[in-house]
Amino acid sequence: MAILPIIETPDPRLKTVSTPVETIDDALRSFIQDMFDTMYDASGIGLAAIQVGLPKRILVIDLQDKDPETGAVVRAPHVFINPEVIKESEEVSVYSEGCLSVPDQYADVARPAVIKARWQDAQGKAHEAEFDGLMATCLQHEMDHLEGVLFIDHLSKLKRDMVLKKLAKARKMDA
C-alpha cells in the first residue's frame, strides 16, 4: 500500500499526452493498487496515472455506492487500461466537476451524456461497454487527463482564470 503525491496545476506534467500500456504485469498491477490507495485517501472518484507522475494510459474510477439498508459505503473499483471512446451521444449532460489536480475548485462542464468505450483490464482482457450518468462524466474527465487536458480547459478563458485565481487565493490562505 502506497499513497503517492498528486500533481497539481500548473505543473507542466499534467499536459503530457500519455502513451499506451504495452505490458500488463505484476509491477503494473501493483502500481494500479497504489493509484486506488491514493484516490481513496484523497476522497476522489477517479484518478489518471499522470496525476501521480506516470504518463501511461491508465485510469481508475470508484463512484462508491451507499448500501441503502446500512448506509455503509460499498466500493466499486474499476480500472481502465488504454481506454478509447468508440461512440458518443449527441445529447450532452452538464455536471459540476472537480479535480484532485485543481483542488477544491468546481465548475460546470458539458460532455456527451452517453459514451461507448473500449479498454483493457488488469489481466489484459479487452472490454466494451456503454456508460451514462456520473460514470460517463468521470470516464471522460479521466480520459482527458490522458491527453493532457484538465476540466478547466473546457471553460471560457474568463471562467478558467476565475477558478485559477480562487485556487491561488486558497493556497495563499493555506500557506
Residues with catalytic roles: 142
- 47 touches which of Ni ion, ligand GNR, none (CB within 5 to 8 A by kind)? ligand GNR
* Residue 84 Ramachandran class (φ > 0 left, ψ -120 to 50 alpha, else beta): beta
Q: Are 79 and 121 in contact (CB under 8 A)?
A: yes
* Minimum distance, C-beta of residue 145 to ligand GNR, in the bound complex (Å): 5
Handedness of CA 159, 111, 52, 35 (dihedral sign): positive
Residues 101-140 that bind Ni ion (CB under 5 A): none
**Which of 17, 57, 12 lies closest to 147 in space, CA to CA?**
17
* Minimum distance, C-beta of residue 102 to Ni ion, in the bound complex (Å): 7
Handedness of CA 70, 77, 30, 11 (dihedral sign): negative
| Closer to ligand GNR by Cβ: residue 19 or 64 | 64
| Closer to ligand GNR by Cβ: residue 24 or 48 | 48
Of 9-17, 60-68, 94-102, 160-168, which part binds Ni ion (CB under 5 A)? 94-102
* Minimum distance, C-beta of residue 99 to Ni ion, in the bound complex (Å): 3
Q: Is residue 99 near Ni ion by the rule CB under 5 A?
A: yes
The x, y and z cell numbers of residue 12, run together, are: 507542466
- 138 touches which of Ni ion, ligand GNR, none (CB within 5 to 8 A by kind)? ligand GNR
Rounded to whole angstroms, the Cα distance separating 111 from 143 reads 12
| Closer to ligand GNR by Cβ: residue 24 or 146 | 146
Where along the sequence are the contacts to ligand GNR (CB under 6 A)?
Answer: 44-48, 51, 95, 97-101, 137-138, 141-142, 145
- 119 touches which of Ni ion, ligand GNR, none (CB within 5 to 8 A by kind)? none
DSSP class of residue 21 equals: P
Rounded to whole angstroms, the Cα distance separating 49 from 117 reads 18
